[in-house]
Structure 1
Amino acid sequence: MDQILAHSADFEDRTQLQGIQWAEKASLSFLGGFILTTFLFGTSAGLVVLTSHFGTRIRILAPLGTFSHLKLASQKGILVKDGRALEGLIQVDTILFDKTGTLTNTALSVFKIIVCDDYGEDELLTYAAAAESKMTHPIAKAILNHAKASNLSLPNLDDSKYQVGYGITVSIENRVIQVGSARFMKTEEIVLPEKIEQAMSDAHTQGHSIVMVAVNSKFIGAIELQSVVRSEVKQLVANLRQHGIKHIAIVSGDQSPPTKKLAEELGMDDYFSDILPEEKANIVEQLQKEGKSVAFVGDGINDAIAMTKANVSISLTGASSIATDIAEVVLMDGTLHHLTDLFEIAKQLDTNLQASLGMSLVPTAINLTGVFFFNLGYTTAIVIKNMAFFVGLGNAMLPLRKIEKLKG
């Protein structure tokens, strides 16, 4: 963990870069000032000018302040893998949330099994669970858990093909099983009976999702899944608005009615439904073209492309490995509770770095003014410089005091 934090702290944010650029441009001027002042006023005055250079201070204080804030984030269960994410969060005014597994609890549950023709519930569930047996997304886990609770034994797969954002096709005992969304059934030219159309309408009214099952291109039934919105989400939306987030939206591959219902319940500004993975990325890019700075919060392989396009990408522990690998920030407790803490820490870091820059420049201004107008001595200049440096150290290490309070 410390190695990750140290690596994250290696980045140079705009404030630090500005200070370093000023320092580099001023180096020759300070050297020239040293020579000229030594010639005009003596060695002591020349040394005051030479030691007034602020480059070393900003190179020490800024990384220390960054590391301290990253350490504070880690103590709150936030892993910042790329320090540039904290700088990016200062600019973020738009947040896009994936729906299933992000805004809702990871654990979905089977609400109802709807069968057609001569198939029984156990037979339909067996086919669906077998098809999803190699998958790790929340829908697959819900179906597999229900099959396990029903003490069903699953047949082995002969072959499988997963289409991200649509569904999965597998071969079992010379039968082709297709499990996925209504959109998937449509692309496979599988006709949905009126019974299912009505069941979909009823499910969407309750905010539930429907997974379709077909055998040999013939529809045999569906599984209705229910999800529970994370308890912290409503308060989270309100807190994010207090932190200056102007636009909050849901981006989901789920159908429109349940997505719209959730967006309205949570007070979201907008929602996007029936969205394919590449379309999620297009939404991010479109918002960026409109001048928005976008953070994307997701947990699945479907979110991966959008997360790479976003200004800041955020995921949660328990998400798919590809999501946590891509994410610049991971919420380690697997919830959204600390998302507002993340924005607060980013703002604190920005303020801290600006203060560090100021504390690096102030002794330079005092010493240069003193040597030319008040005959300031070298010893006094060193005292002023060191006092300012130690005050800067204290400022940079302020988050560490907060960590001690958290531990206490």
Structure 2
Amino acid sequence: MNGFIQKHKKHITFGAGFLLVLALLLNIAGFQDLRQLTLIAATLVAIIPIALKAFQAVRMKAFSIELLVSIAVVGALAIGEYTESAVVTFLFLFGDYLEARTLERTRASLKSLVDMTPQEAVVLRSGQPITVPADRVAKGDRVIIRTGGKVPVDGEIVSGQAFLNEAAITGESVPASKRAGDKVFSSTVIDNGYIEIIAEKVGDDTTFAKIIELVEEAQESKSATEKFLNKFANIYTPAVVALALVVFAWTQNFHLAITFLVIACPGALVIGAPVSTVAGIGNGAKNGVLIKGGEVMDRFAKVDTLIFDKTGTLTKGKPQVTDIKGFGLYEENELLRLVAIAETVSEHHLGQTLVKEAKARNITFGRPDKSKVKRGSGLMASVEGKCMAIGNRKLMKSKGIYIPEEVETYAAAREAAGNTAVFAAVEDEIAGVFSIADEIREDAALALAEMRRHGVKKIIMLTGDNRHTAERVAAALGIDEFHAELLPADKVAFVNGLKEQGHVVAMAGDGVNDAPAIAAADIGAAMGEGGTDISMETADVVLMADKLMQFSHAYALSKATIRNMKENTFFAVGIVAHLLIGVLMGSVHLASGMFIHEASVLLVILNAMRLLRFNRRKPAGPKPWKYQMPGGKVEGYS
């Protein structure tokens, strides 16, 4: 029964509206008795879904708005106010209908995401291409995608080249060039080209599926404001019933008490906060930012201190080997081969850079016999029977490996030029130094300037890299302070120290080595790199396009969302207060008060919907600047 009524609630609403119009026409025609019957019919039709929800609330021992309206309508019928009862029930249902429609629109970003889910895939089976449902693709399948096709799984390109629109993942509409060796993600679309990929993640494990799951969970989660308002409503509603009884006892005016009861319904107050949260999170999803719920919005809006990792966050995380210097033990390519074998187990950007350099030189290498990663300093490995140590000075010192003066002088000079120096030792003797340079992200300077403008008081950079490179990046971006050569545990301690001083801290990192610090911060933000598992699980905010401007957008959006919630609360409380004063003074009646009440619900929803179109303002009058670092120039603003 309940399911049937909810399914046909729209038809019931417009049926009651039709009867109201008919009653108006009968009144004009002078058929008063028929008019009264039509009004009663309109009331009885419209009260069904309202009374049903009121009954369910009573069974759950809760006081709902529907219960207040039901009591008021019964009272209006009892005193013969048929016009009032019909208008009140219709307006309540119509307001509910408008609310549902508007909420549906605020969730449009999620619906549009779901609609992007690919339904079919072309896979090679027994050497022949066949079309199968996307959820039937298995790991390891070779999948073919042509121009205009959607990528059905996450995987790596093994053949072909194409331009992909990755807006579904990153929020960026400019197509990205992809070729063999690059990763692609489910629900991205080939604008032009042809690729074949090996499926790595399928079904619910794809990045896109996880995005949808995270956005759904975020939109269902409640902010601190919502939780407070829900508790307030549970106290407020029975209090209104008690006050209505007091009004009746004082005035002996049953109609006035019923009017007071209906007008005091906290509808706009209850709906104002959740609709703002849903709209804000929807805006973030549309712009490639995953914000994990209303509580995250609350905390993010209060952040006054930002901490950034360097490699992969302020820089692109795509460093290049600029020089290899051997010190007599091995020829350059042979040393690179040994180092590449050891670094195949590393997740760090620098280790993977050395592996890529070996591949680029067409050097063949395998995997180490044994290895142990030393987070924040490098790794130890057994390679072809040789004990190797690859990393920074801290690693060399901790293993008692002496760095000759000649090596130290060379490494310091490379660092002063903006490189990261990676030492390689074989059997406790320094064999060479690898120089690696990274580029600052093009949007870093502008993003930091915007976040300062939106209220951030202090920006700090923490890095495991050497002091020279860290100093150059900090100076280029105008960062307040930096700390170099830190281990992951040092970053966590630094974050906790700031929190103990009363700062509200956001930490942005690449989601791998920085995961402990991200988890320790009040707000953890991860550069998604297409949505790595660790970044999605650890962070409160995930930047799907790896762009710091998305972080700036998320920060400004959180402030706008919380401001919107406060505006809605002010509107709701103010309107109810004015209406109640009007009721007690006799200037507001049941039907007109109910109309204004429903209009206030619509007002807070429409106000929240402004967040769907929210976009941060660009700073006034930025001056472009250029900064040269090894490996390329960086453009930004000052």
Does the alignment reach a TM-score above 0.5? Answer: yes
Structure 1: any 5+ residue segments left out of the alignment? 404-408
CA contact (8 A) 1:137 1:320 kept: no
Deviations 1:176-232 (A, max 9, x none): 121111110110001112222011211121121011111122221111101111111
Q: Is the 8 A contact 1:78 1:332 kept in 2?
A: yes
RMSD: 1.8
Which residue of 148, 159, 168 maps to 2:359?
148
Structure 2 gaps of 5+ residues are: 1-210, 616-638
Aligned equivalents of 1:133 and 1:3: distance in 2? Answer: 32
Deviation at 1:172, TM superposition (A): 1.9
Q: Specify the alignment match of 2:602 in structure 1.
A: 390
Alignment partners' CA distance in 2, 1:11 and 1:149: 47
Range that drifts further, 68-77 or 48-57: 48-57
Q: Report the AA paired with residue 96 of structure 1.
A: I
CA distance in 1: counterparts of 2:523 and 2:342, whole angstroms = 34
Q: How far apart are residue 245 of structure 1 and its match?
A: 1.0
Indicate the residue corresponding to 1:406 in structure 2: none
> 345-354 or 366-375: which moved more?
366-375
Between the two structures, name the one with larger relative contact order (CA 8 Å, sep ≥ 6). Answer: 1
Contact 2:508 2:524 in 1 (8 A): yes
Q: In 2, Cα distance between the equivalents of 1:20 and 1:230?
A: 43
Q: TM-score, normalised by structure 1?
A: 0.94
Per-residue deviation, 1:400: 3.1
Distance 1:271 1:397, change over 3 A: same
Give the Cα–Cα distance (whole angstroms) in 1 for the partners of residues 540 and 216 of structure 2.
15
Per-residue CA distance 1:139-164 (angstroms, 9 max, x = gap): 12211111001111113321111111
Secondary structure of 2:549's counterpart equals coil
Counterpart of 1:47? 258
Aligned residue for 2:117?
none
Tell me, in whole angstroms, the C-alpha distance in 1 between the residues paired with 2:570 and 2:562. Answer: 13
* 1:89 aligns to 2:300 (yes or no): yes
TM-score, normalised relative to structure 2: 0.61
* More displaced stretch, 55-64 vs 111-120: 55-64
2:455 maps to 1:247: no
Flag the 1:390–1:132 CA change in 2: closer, same or farther, 3 A: same
Per the TM alignment, residue 293 of structure 1 is displaced from its structure 2 partner at its CA by: 0.8
1:300-332 CA distances to partner (integer Å, 9 max, x unpaired)? Answer: 432111111101010112276423420111111
Matched residue, 1:214: 425
Q: Please say if residues 305 and 506 of structure 2, whose CA atoms lie closer than 8 Å, have aligned partners that are also in contact.
A: yes
> Could you tell me which of 348, 358, 369 is aligned with 1:137?
348
Judge conservation of contact 1:331–1:339 (CA < 8 Å) in 2: yes
Letter of the structure 1 residue corresponding to residue 553 of structure 2: D
Give, as a single letter, the amino acid of the residue that structure 2 aligns with 1:260: E
- Cα distance in 1 between the residues matched to 2:352 and 2:489: 24
Query: What is the Cα deviation at residue 61 of structure 1?
Result: 2.6
Amino acid at match of 2:466: Q
Given candidates 588, 610, 616, the residue that maps to 1:376 is 588
Separation of aligned partners in 2, 1:28 and 1:114: 79
Question: Larger C-alpha radius of gyration, 1 or 2?
Answer: 2
| Equivalent residues of 1:92, 1:245 under 8 A apart | yes
Q: Deviations over 1:114-160 (max 9, x none)?
A: 10123111111111111111223211221111100111111332111
Indicate conservation of the 8 Å contact 1:23/1:54, yes or no: no
Q: Are 1:70 and 2:281 an aligned pair?
A: yes
1:262 matches 2:473:
yes
Amino acid at match of 1:365: A
- Answer yes or no: is the 8 Å Cα contact 2:495–2:521 preserved in 1: yes
Give the alignment of 1:5-404 within 5 angstroms: 5-39=215-249, 40-318=251-529, 321-374=533-586, 376-401=588-613
**Residue 526 of structure 2 contacts residue 541 of structure 2 at CA under 8 Å; is this kept in 1?**
yes
8 Å contact from structure 2 (residues 237, 265) kept in 1: no
Q: Is 2:511–2:527's contact at 8 Å kept on the other side of the alignment?
A: no
Give secondary structure in 1 for the equivalent of 2:430. Answer: strand
Amino acid at match of 2:238: L
Q: Deviations over 1:215-270 (max 9, x none)?
A: 12222111110111111112222222111111101100112121122112211110
In 2: Cα distance, 1:53 partner to 1:142 partner: 65
Match of 2:548, SS? Answer: coil
SS for the counterpart of 1:301 is coil
CA contact (8 A) 2:462 2:491 kept: yes
Q: Deviations over 1:267-306 (max 9, x none)?
A: 1110011111111011011111222111000004321111
For 2:386 and 2:532, how far apart are their aligned partners in 1? 29
Q: Distance in 1 between matches of 2:487 and 2:588?
A: 68
Structure 2 Cα separation of the partners of residues 286 and 134 of structure 1: 33
CA change 1:401–1:298 in 2 (3 A) is: closer
Shift of 1:36: 2.2
Q: Which runs of 4+ in 1 moved over 4 A?
A: none
Higher mean displacement: 144-153 or 33-42: 33-42
